[in-house]
Copies of this chain bind each other. A is one copy, B any other.
């Protein structure tokens, strides 16, 4: 069934749901739903409601609460912004179950994103979450410098710093050995820009307790590297469910 993400404030008394103009347009014009048709409303934080479009334009009726989606185990992507293709990274990362995305301006990052971009990424993440029935929309942080990020984000033991052309254990090996002992461990993968991390950035990350890992012997584009890292980590976690 089709899904839309709502703000809990839209839930009125007596089981009505006030749709925004955008949501009404999406349901009626894009998805072609008619009065009486059913859809699922989600709040992006696990709650979801079976809903029905009503005759009064912009209104829907909540038919029933659906079982809430349990909160996913934390999986963060920290990615130096690539020159192009980050929209796809956000979309595909959401499909793969990421819970937060930190876009990073590293030494070799060429892009200076406009503030509008964050809203765009947030919207892409929301749409991807609806499509892939995740029920949870990942949080997308404002781009920040590598220095600022690494000094301000709390550390945990599941931190993997992916480096190309390095002789280090693969991400799969590292993450599997970690999850065997603590399957619910929060995980964070950090992926570099085109041209890779500088030696200084690698040294700083290791000093902050990040484990250097390899995504394999091949050279991957920055955008492919992010998805590869998430696919690996998320499969290793699924394997234990």
A interface residues with partner B (beta carbon < 8 Å): 88, 92, 95-97, 131-134, 170-173, 214-221, 224, 227-228, 231-232, 234-236, 238-239, 241
The answer to whether B132 touches A96, judged by C-beta atoms less than 8 angstroms apart, is no
In the complex, are the beta carbons of A131 and B241 less than 8 A apart? no
Inter-chain CA distance A119–B195, complex, in Å, is 29
Q: What residues of B have a CB within 8 angstroms of the CB of A133 in the complex?
A: 218-219
CB-based contact A170/B235 at 8 Å: yes
Specify the chain B residue showing the minimal Cβ separation from A133. Answer: B219
Interface contacts beyond A216-B234, A218-B234: sample of 16 additional A-B pairs, CB < 8 Å, sorted by A: A92-B227, A95-B219, A95-B220, A95-B224, A96-B220, A97-B216, A131-B221, A132-B218, A134-B218, A170-B238, A173-B239, A214-B238, A217-B241, A227-B231, A231-B231, A232-B235
A-B contact pairs, 27 of them (CB 8 A): A88-B88, A92-B221, A92-B224, A95-B219, A95-B221, A95-B224, A96-B218, A96-B220, A96-B224, A97-B216, A131-B219, A131-B221, A132-B218, A134-B218, A170-B238, A170-B239, A172-B236, A172-B238, A214-B238, A215-B235, A216-B235, A217-B238, A218-B234, A224-B227, A227-B228, A228-B231, A228-B235
CB distance from A8 to the nearest CB of B (A): 24
How many copies the complex holds: the figure is 2
Within the complex, the shortest CB–CB distance from A177 to chain B, in Å, comes to 11
What is the distance, in angstroms, from A2's C-beta to the closest C-beta of chain B?
Answer: 13
Residues from chain B with Cβ under 8 Å of A227 in the complex: 92, 224, 227-228, 231
Residue of B nearest to A134 (CB): B218
- Report the nearest B residue to A173, measured CB to CB: B239
Q: Are B228 and A216 within 8 A (Cβ)?
A: no
